[in-house]
């Protein structure tokens, strides 16, 4: 059953005395009388009509000081209901229906039984409408119960008869209790009542009072079949909005890492690093990974590219999240065809060991400054290729020659040469690594201008020599 917010019922009334009723006035029931009767022998006068005047008859004469208004007629049981206006009737009296004007006799009978019913209701008028020659009054603040055959009285000596009474309610095909602060289980429907069963492989976006709710039994809600069950009952008057936008993957909660200091965090799903990148070979300034992520901080959706950005598996917020803030995030999947690969390259973390080419010992990560910057602890190992020293010769402010004073050792690739100066600029030096000299081990005999050939290619079956058997020698780089 459904009821209106203010009006509880309405009465159609016919006024017979006093001034019209006004909105806001109070009315009260005056009751009615029921007569059980038998018609008189004259077949001509066997008609009683609701709304007509009913008089007492003595010796065939109408008594003008004893009369009322007929409010209802029950012909099957020989009952006539009347609202008394003046005087009183008793059992055995002869009564007559004298029409609306009280002039022409239409029906006559003798009272066999008489029962008086007192009025037991009051109310305030909330609205008044026309209903033919009568009035329809809508009531609120109703106490007791009105009856559709009794009389009512109001201010300014108003008197009316209740012709019809209707309680304002309706029967509906579908109903359920809304948010009342108690219930937690509700039906999922769409299009005003159509049963809705969400895709079990996807996620819904549920907002209560505009705040995105994280799914899960340990969070805000769970959904199964066509039902949704909240962990805590929504308060009375709370708003609800639900969407299904396609398949989503819920990411792990990272709010426990919010410390009011950092703004860059790792995204994870099921405790594994989660990253979004474009397919190999695709370059676009319009396709951005953050457009495929739905992120909510404290229930407020963050705008991609403005509130946050995604770099690999790290999310970088434009404003540092405060301690105690909530985090909810979903990654849009769509269908399996939308996912090209699921191989996740984990990011560098604190305490990870880095293998840097040219160094003999791994370095330990101390601090992650940003998505592309980190700090390691002091390196204590050795470096491949070290100890080379060179001096420059200048002519009129220009570098004309570089003399290597120490060739160093361990170089197997071309090193980078850096120029440090407080005045000069734009100078560049390229170091060469190669054969600087050879040592004759055995002189031999009979040579006439021999040619020395150096092989720069290595055959597939070549076996490397044992380096420990050779002494270290100084290598002078070639100067161009």
How far are the Cα atoms of 8, 34, 54, 163, 402 from residue 115, in angstroms, in the given order?
29, 5, 16, 20, 132
Tens-of-pLDDT digits for all 480 residues of the chain? 676 777 889 999 999 899 999 999 999 999 999 999 999 877 788 889 988 999 999 998 999 999 999 999 998 899 999 999 999 999 999 999 998 888 889 999 999 999 999 999 999 999 999 988 899 999 999 999 999 899 999 999 999 999 899 988 877 766 677 888 999 999 888 887 788 888 766 678 899 998 888 888 888 898 888 899 999 999 988 999 998 877 888 899 999 999 999 899 988 888 888 887 666 666 666 667 788 888 999 988 899 889 999 887 889 999 999 999 999 998 887 655 555 555 556 678 888 888 887 677 888 888 877 666 788 888 776 666 777 888 888 887 788 888 888 877 767 667 778 777 777 777 888 877 766 667 777 778 888 777 777 776 667 677 766 666 665 555 555 544
Burial 3-19 (b: 16+ CB within 10 A, else e): eeeebbbbbbbbbbeee
What pLDDT is stored for residue 172 in this prediction?
73
Angstrom distance (rounded) from CA 14 to CA 152 = 10
Burial 129-160 (b: 16+ CB within 10 A, else e): eebeebbbbbbeebeeebbbbbbbbbeeebbb
What pLDDT is stored for residue 325 in this prediction?
93
Q: Where do the DSSP E strands lie in 210-278?
A: 211-212, 221-224, 227-230, 240-243, 248-250, 264-266, 268-269, 272-273
Three-class secondary structure of residue 11 per DSSP: strand
Three-class secondary structure of residue 468 per DSSP: helix
Residues in Cβ contact with 312 at an 8 Å cutoff, skipping those fewer than 6 apart: 275, 277, 345, 347, 371
Neighbouring-strand partners of residue 15: 160
Angstrom distance (rounded) from CA 471 to CA 170 = 105
- For residue 294 the two structure tokens come to 């739905």
The neighbour count for residue 366, using CB atoms within 10 Å, is 13
Q: What is the CA radius of gyration of the chain?
A: 50
3-state secondary structure 293-323: EEEEECCEECCECCCEEEECCEEEECCCCCC
Three-class secondary structure of residue 55 per DSSP: strand
Burial class (CB in 10 A: 0-12, 13-18, 19+), 399: middle
Residues in Cβ contact with 147 at an 8 Å cutoff, skipping those fewer than 6 apart: 29, 32, 117, 121, 162, 165
- 415, 423, 416, 420: which is closest to 392 by C-alpha? 420
pTM of this structure = 0.40
Angstrom distance (rounded) from CA 122 to CA 429 = 106
Half-sphere exposure of 312 (CA within 13 A, CB side): 14
Angstrom distance (rounded) from CA 427 to CA 343 = 45
What pLDDT is stored for residue 476 in this prediction?
56
- 343, 349, 392, 401: which is closest to 374 by C-alpha? 349
Three-class secondary structure of residue 88 per DSSP: coil
Angstrom distance (rounded) from CA 225 to CA 228 = 8
Angstrom distance (rounded) from CA 135 to CA 400 = 115
**Residue 375 is inside which H or E element, if any?**
strand 373-376
| Cβ–Cβ < 8 Å for 146, 125 | no
- 366, 367, 377, 376: which is closest to 262 by C-alpha? 367
């Amino acid at each position: 059953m459904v009821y209106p917010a203010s009006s509880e019922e309405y009465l159609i009334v016919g006024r017979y005395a006093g001034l019209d009723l006004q909105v806001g006035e109070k009315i009260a029931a005056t009751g009615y009388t029921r007569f059980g009767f038998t018609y008189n022998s004259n077949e001509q006068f066997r008609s009683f009509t609701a709304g007509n005047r009913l008089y007492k008859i003595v010796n065939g004469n109408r008594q003008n000081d004893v009369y009322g208004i007929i409010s209802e007629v029950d012909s099957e049981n020989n009952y006539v209901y009347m609202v008394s206006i003046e005087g009183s009737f008793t059992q055995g009296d002869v009564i007559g229906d004298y029409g609306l004007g009280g002039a022409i006799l239409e029906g006559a009978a003798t009272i066999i039984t008489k029962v008086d019913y007192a009025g037991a209701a009051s109310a305030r008028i909330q609205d008044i409408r026309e209903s033919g020659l009568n009035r329809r009054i809508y009531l609120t603040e109703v106490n007791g119960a009105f009856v559709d055959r009794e009389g009512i009285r109001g201010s300014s000596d108003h008197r009316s008869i209740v012709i019809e009474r209707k309680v304002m309610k309706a029967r509906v095909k579908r109903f359920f209790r809304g948010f009342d602060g108690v219930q937690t289980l509700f039906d999922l429907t769409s299009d005003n009542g159509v049963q809705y069963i969400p895709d079990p492989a996807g996620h819904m976006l549920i907002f209560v009072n505009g705040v995105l709710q994280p799914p899960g039994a340990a969070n805000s809600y769970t959904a199964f079949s066509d039902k949704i069950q909240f962990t805590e009952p929504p308060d009375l008057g709370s708003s609800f909005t639900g969407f299904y936008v396609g398949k989503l993957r819920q990411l792990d909660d990272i709010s426990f890492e919010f410390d009011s200091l950092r703004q860059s965090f790792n995204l994870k799903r099921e405790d594994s690093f989660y990253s979004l990148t474009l397919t190999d070979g695709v370059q676009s300034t319009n396709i951005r990974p953050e457009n495929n992520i739905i992120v909510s901080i404290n229930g407020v959706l963050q705008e991609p590219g403005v509130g946050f950005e995604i770099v690999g598996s790290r999310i970088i917020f434009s404003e540092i999240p405060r301690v105690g803030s909530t985090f909810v995030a979903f990654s849009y999947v769509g269908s399996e065809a939308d996912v090209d690969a699921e191989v996740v390259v984990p990011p560098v973390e604190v305490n990870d060991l880095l293998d840097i080419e040219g160094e003999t010992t791994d370095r330990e990560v101390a601090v992650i400054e940003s998505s592309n910057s980190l700090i390691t602890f002091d390196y204590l190992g050795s470096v491949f290729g070290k100890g080379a020293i060179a001096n420059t010769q200048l002519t009129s402010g220009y570098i004309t020659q570089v003399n290597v004073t120490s060739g160093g050792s361990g170089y197997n690739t071309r090193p980078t040469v850096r120029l440090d100066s407080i005045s000069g600029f734009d100078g560049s030096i390229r170091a060469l690594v190669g054969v600087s000299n050879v040592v004759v081990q055995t002189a031999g005999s009979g040579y006439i201008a021999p040619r020395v050939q150096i092989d720069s290619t290595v055959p597939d079956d070549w076996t490397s020599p044992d380096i420990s058997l050779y002494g270290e020698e100084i290598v002078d780089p070639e100067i161009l």
